Structure formats: C-alpha cells, structure tokens
Chain A
Amino acid sequence: GAVVSQHPSRVICKSGTSVKIECRSLDFQATTMFWYRQFPKQSLMLMATSNEGSKATYEQGVEKDKFLINHASLTLSTLTVTSAHPEDSSFYICSARAWDRGQENTIYFGEGSWLTVV
C-alpha cells in the first residue's frame, strides 16, 4: 500500500534554533499534504494544509512565520519550526491524500516526529 515517510522520527534541538521535518510520499503523488500537532494524550490538531507549488494554508491561531511549510515537489512537504522554544515540543505528524491512485478517500499518515526543544 501507499507509504508516507516522515523524518526524523525524533529530534532534540536547542531553544532558538530551527528544525526541519520532512514528509515524503514514497509511491504516490501528493498534491496536498496536511500537518498536525499532537500533545500527549490529546487529539490531533490540524496546523496547516500544504499545497504543491503554492503557499500553505494555515489554521487559525497557527503562526505561519514560526511554522514554515514548503511543498516544492509532488512527493515532499517540509515543516520548519523556526526559533524553537520549549513550548513547541510536541509530536508532529503529516498526512497525504492519495489522489492519483483512484483512492480519493484514503488518507495516509507518516510515522510522526517527536520534537523536544531544550
């Protein structure tokens, strides 16, 4: 089946630095990807919709200058947390819609990335 790969699975960075998380569709084209954030024992909250070749659409309350999203190809979206602070520590997970496989209603998730800011 379709696979969405997310990297790195775990990252620790110092406060004030930036960190990039990649979300890659391995065997299908993903014109749209989604980035979610999840705090421990809580639900997934959509942060933004990543659109290939255009600007991302951010959900209300999400700082677009802090969470930079780039979707430069049909298989890769990246989330960069800029000037990270301890409160940005969380689990980040991406998903992609398998549009070109005749499975329009199928959403595939990456494995997620744990970010710890120290």
Chain B
Amino acid sequence: AQTVTQSQPEMSVQEAETVTLSCTYDTSENNYYLFWYKQPPSRQMILVIRQEAYKQQNATENRFSVNFQKAAKSFSLKISDSQLGDTAMYFCAFMRYAGGTSYGKLTFGQGTILTVHP
C-alpha cells in the first residue's frame, strides 16, 4: 500500500514571494504518477501539476514547479510569485501506473492549508 505524507498542516506567504510545500511518499512501485491538487473554499479539486515517475525532469506549469527526488521519495511544490488566488488547501497525491480497474485510484496526503497575505 502507498502512503503520502504532508508534514506542514498550514503555511503562509506574502504576496509575490515564493513558498515550498513538502510531500513525501512511500511505495514499492517503480512506475507511478504524482500530483499536486489545489482545493479552494469551493471544494473543487483543481489539478496544479503532474509528474510521471519515469521522467527525471521536474514538471513545471507557469508559476508552479516541483522538485521530484525519486530515490528520496520526495515531491515538493514550489509556488513562485504567490498570488492571493493561490490561497487554498493543497494536496499531494499518488497514483499507480498500472492497468486494471484500480487504475485511477488516488492516495492523498493530509493536505496543507496555504494562506497568501497581501
């Protein structure tokens, strides 16, 4: 079974600054996906960024980037130039890379509440 751990229950950052959210995971799988999801007060789950484990290059999406360390089983999210709209709960998630009906099942971390201050 996989586990995902987010050790920062809450984080805060000033607008325009950079913040890094931590995530570690444990798995015996070699092929998998990792995700960061944003959940604003509306509760809608919004995909922020995705990383395939077989790719060594860290994924980036505009102001969002990850530091993926496969050997250390670490997957942190860096948000640059933080904006007020980034205020939300952020979840790190793991998904196996395999076929079958369980494919698509996500294991989530505990979440980190990020507050961006003006």
A interface: dominant SS: strand
**A51-B101, A105-B52 are known contacts. Are A34 and B106 too (CB-CB below 8 A)?**
yes
24 contacts across the A-B interface (CB closer than 8 A): A32-B101, A32-B103, A38-B43, A41-B111, A42-B111, A43-B91, A43-B108, A43-B110, A43-B111, A44-B91, A44-B106, A91-B43, A93-B45, A96-B104, A97-B103, A104-B103, A105-B33, A105-B95, A105-B97, A107-B95, A111-B42, A111-B44, A112-B44, A112-B45
Kindly state the separation between the CA atoms of A96 and B42 in the bound complex, as whole angstroms. Answer: 19
Q: Which residues of A are interface residues toward B (Cβ below 8 A)?
A: 31-32, 34, 38, 41-46, 49, 51, 57, 91, 93, 95-97, 104-105, 107, 109, 111-112
Cβ of A49 and Cβ of B91 under 8 Å apart? Answer: no
12 new A-B contacts, CB < 8 A, other than A42-B111, A96-B104, A105-B52, are A43-B91, A44-B45, A44-B91, A49-B102, A57-B101, A93-B45, A97-B103, A104-B103, A109-B45, A111-B42, A111-B43, A111-B44
